[in-house]
Amino acid sequence: MPSEVVIVGLIALAGFLLGGVYTTWRSARVMALLLLAAAALAVGGAALWWFSF
C-alpha cells in the first residue's frame, strides 16, 4: 500500500474522531477526552509514518 494512502487515511480518521469530540463534549466529557486521545494518536502515527520514509 502506498504510504500516502496510509497518511491520508490516518488524518481522515483523526478528523472523524475530532468530530466525535466536538459532538460529545457537552454530554460525555470522559468519552470526548478518550476520542481526543485517539485522534492525537492518529495524527502522531501519520506524522511518524510520513517522516519515516
pLDDT of the chain along its 53 residues, tens only? 688 999 999 999 999 999 999 999 999 999 999 999 999 999 999 999 999 86
Could you state, in order of their start, the residue ranges of all structural domains in the chain? 3-52
Distance, CA of 31 to CA of 21 (rounded, Å): 8
- What pLDDT was estimated at residue 52? 86
Q: In a 10 Å sphere around its CB, with 0-12 CB exposed, 13-18 middle and 19+ buried, how is residue 42 labelled?
A: buried
DSSP 4: H
CA distance 41 to 53: 19
**What is the structure's pLDDT at 53?**
66
